[in-house]
């Protein structure tokens, strides 16, 4: 039986899960209970008193209200600052707590589909945080999943994959997304840059300063104020643009009755979809695509979490000059790591070429003069290229010697670049 292909939207207030079905080529959102239409699962964890039993979501709240356990919340934020929490005199790291939460979370689709196998997971986060991303990869290790089966994406990436998986008329022109949560109001805009081969699909993201707390929706005056704020944002962001579709998601849009005037403006000559699950479904589409030998989407995706330029080298292979692609534009930077073995030929400089989407090129140089001096073509180098964020690249060059003639040394050259 094929394993489950999951997209998990992991936020500080709630999480959502979607499972991709290759039979229908779509992703279905998964609820906590079989008969429950609410697919929002609070990001809270509860440990039962005196026993090693953990609960999540509404179950966690229920046990805590009955005095049967201790609740810990804000798990993503806690992991992002490498925090700790003490429960019954025992101190747990944020990574341990998030691991308990994710393991219980994954049991939901396992039980629903009666399938204990996980083929691939993409976690999507609203904000990039290397501590959280590393923790999620380690959680994948603890689940017995191979490294290539666990990926972390931004909301921008999940939105991109959700949209380009829909019918083309949905995104014939620009599409926009308003995400209203306890963390504020976020705006995403997707547009296709045509005239390039392949076409480039670009997503921009803005945290709107006009955002408001969801608490103001509890009063009539607050709802009117929220409606005016959203209308002002929509007027500023959508006017004078050809927008095919607008998506509304997040807890703030579970009920849209408060947004009468703003929705009248947004819906004028545009398709509008309001609902939950967009990010987790987009992550599930991305998870499926990661498993294919070649991407099903003939586009380069540019957004938060993805490289804006291509990094390459000119090398001689089998007697011919070739361009070796180290990391391509549109690749998720967190997973973009390359290990290359080279033998320098009459050079003491390593040159890498950075090519922007507009074709502009610049050369990055790594001087090799700190390595041992040997006869030409008698040094083998290992070049490791990695990224700490989309615009920061690290190149490390290791001396691997040359067989029994010249043993490897401990020499290593490191160079950090902004690309």
For residue 296, count other CB atoms closer than 10 A to its CB.
Answer: 11
- What is the Cα–Cα distance from 46 to 73, expressed in whole angstroms? 9
Strand order from edge to edge, sheet including 199-207: 271-274, 243-249, 174-181, 184-193, 199-207, 299-302
pLDDT in tens, 49-100: 989 899 999 999 999 888 899 999 999 999 999 899 999 889 999 999 999 9
* pLDDT over 80 at 160, yes or no: yes
125 DSSP β-pair partners: 154
Q: How far is CA 167 from CA 27, 201, 245, 290, in A?
A: 14, 15, 12, 21
CATH 3.30.420.40 holds for 4-148: yes
Q: Which CATH architecture has domain 158-279?
A: 2-Layer Sandwich (3.30)
Output the pTM of the full model: 0.93
Average pLDDT score over the chain:
93
Q: Could you tell me which CATH class the domain 309-418 is placed in? A: mainly beta
Q: What's residue 286's pLDDT? A: 98
pLDDT in tens, 357-394: 888 999 999 999 999 999 999 999 999 999 999 899 99
Half-sphere exposure of 38 (CA within 13 A, CB side): 8
- What is the Cα–Cα distance from 311 to 327, expressed in whole angstroms? 5
Alpha helices (runs of H) in 125-259, residue ranges in sequence order = 130-142, 155-164, 220-238
pLDDT in tens, 340-359: 999 999 999 999 999 998 88
pLDDT in tens, 112-138: 999 999 999 999 999 899 999 999 999
Half-sphere exposure of 385 (CA within 13 A, CB side): 27
- What is the Cα–Cα distance from 33 to 57, expressed in whole angstroms? 11
Please state whether the peptide bond connecting residue 198 to the residue before it is cis, i.e. omega within 30 degrees of 0. Answer: yes
Residues of the chain with CATH 3.30.420.40: 4-148
Q: Which two tokens stand for residue 144?
A: 């017995």
b or e along 45-62 (b: 16 or more beta carbons within 10 Å of the residue's beta carbon)?
Answer: bbbbeeeeebbbbbbbbe
Phi then psi for 320, rounded to 5 degrees?
-125, 145
Q: Which helix (H) or strand (E) holds 397?
A: strand 392-399
Q: What's residue 36's pLDDT? A: 62
Residues of the chain with CATH 2.60.34: 309-418
């Amino acid at each position: 039986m094929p394993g489950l292909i999951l997209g998990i939207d992991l936020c500080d207030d709630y999480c959502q899960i979607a499972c991709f079905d290759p039979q229908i080529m779509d992703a279905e959102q998964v609820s906590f209970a079989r008969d429950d239409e609410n697919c929002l699962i609070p990001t809270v964890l509860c440990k039962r008193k005196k026993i090693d039993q953990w609960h999540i979501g509404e179950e966690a709240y229920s046990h805590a209200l009955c005095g049967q356990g201790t609740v810990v919340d804000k798990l993503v934020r806690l992991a992002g600052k490498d925090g700790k929490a003490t429960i019954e005199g025992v101190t747990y790291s944020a990574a341990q707590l998030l691991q308990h939460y994710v393991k219980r979370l994954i049991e939901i689709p396992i039980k629903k589909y009666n399938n204990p196998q996980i083929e691939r997971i993409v976690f999507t986060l609203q904000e990039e945080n290397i501590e959280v991303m590393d923790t999620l990869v380690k959680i994948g290790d603890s689940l017995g999943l191979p490294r290539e089966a666990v990926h972390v994406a931004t909301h921008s990436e999940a939105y991109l994959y959700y949209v380009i998986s829909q019918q083309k008329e949905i995104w014939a022109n620009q599409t926009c997304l308003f995400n209203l949560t306890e963390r504020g109001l976020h705006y995403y805009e997707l547009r296709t840059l045509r005239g390039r081969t392949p076409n480039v699909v670009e997503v921009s993201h803005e945290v709107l300063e006009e955002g408001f707390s969801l608490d103001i929706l509890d009063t009539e005056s607050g709802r009117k104020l929220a409606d005016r704020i959203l209308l002002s944002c929509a007027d500023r962001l959508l006017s004078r643009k050809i927008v095919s579709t607008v998506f509304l998601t997040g807890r703030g849009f579970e009920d849209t009755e408060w947004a009468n005037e703003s929705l009248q403006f947004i819906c004028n000559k545009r398709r509008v979809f309001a609902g939950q699950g967009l990010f987790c479904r987009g992550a599930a589409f991305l998870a499926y695509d990661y498993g294919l030998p070649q991407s099903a989407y003939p586009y380069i995706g540019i957004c938060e979490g993805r490289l804006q330029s291509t990094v390459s080298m000119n090398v001689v292979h089998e007697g011919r000059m070739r361009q070796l692609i180290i990391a391509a534009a549109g690749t998720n930077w967190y997973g973009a790591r390359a290990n290359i073995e080279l033998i320098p030929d009459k050079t003491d400089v390593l040159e890498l070429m950075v090519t922007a989407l507009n074709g502009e090129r610049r050369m990055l140089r790594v001087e090799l003069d700190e390595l041992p001096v040997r006869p030409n073509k008698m040094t083998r180098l290992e070049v490791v290229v990695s990224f700490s964020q989309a615009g920061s690249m690290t190149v490390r060059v290791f001396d691997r010697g040359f067989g029994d003639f010249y043993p490897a040394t401990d020499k290593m050259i490191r160079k950090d670049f902004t690309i």
